[in-house]
Amino acid sequence: MATVVDRAGATAASGRLAPAGESIIDQVETAPAHQRRGLGTTVMRTLSDHAARHGMTTGLLVATDDGRRLYQSLGWPVRSEVAAAFVPED
């Protein structure tokens, strides 16, 4: 996991990396008050660099429309559209 905290110690941005034969980057988020400051880029580069250092050469990333713009700017190509579903907890 990569986490960026603000001066008050609150999470400003974060993301997770799961090694599953390849690298899977998941739940990359930037708090609204901290968006457009490069924190998502920092999280992505940190996770990608960690994966590469540990021999993971292929990555999988599922993105929202907002996230896709960031990921494409970092060189991640779109390979396929993915349908997402959300089931709220009761």
Q: Tell me the sheet residues that pair with 77.
A: none
Q: Write down the pLDDT at residue 14.
A: 97
Is residue 51 domain-resident? yes
Tokens of 37: 């400051």
Query: End-to-end alpha-carbon separation of the chain, Å?
Result: 28
In a domain, residue 55? The reply is: yes
The pLDDT value recorded for residue 59 is 84
What confidence tens digit (pLDDT) does each residue in 5-60 have? 999 999 999 999 988 777 888 899 999 999 999 999 999 999 999 999 998 888 88
Range of the domain at 69: 2-73
44 is a domain residue = yes
d(CA 45, CA 19): 16
Is there a domain that residue 34 lies in?
yes
Task: Give the number of domains in the chain.
Answer: 1
Determine, yes or no, domain membership for 57: yes
* pLDDT value, residue 36: 92
CATH no. for residue 50? Answer: 3.40.630.30
88 lies in a domain? no
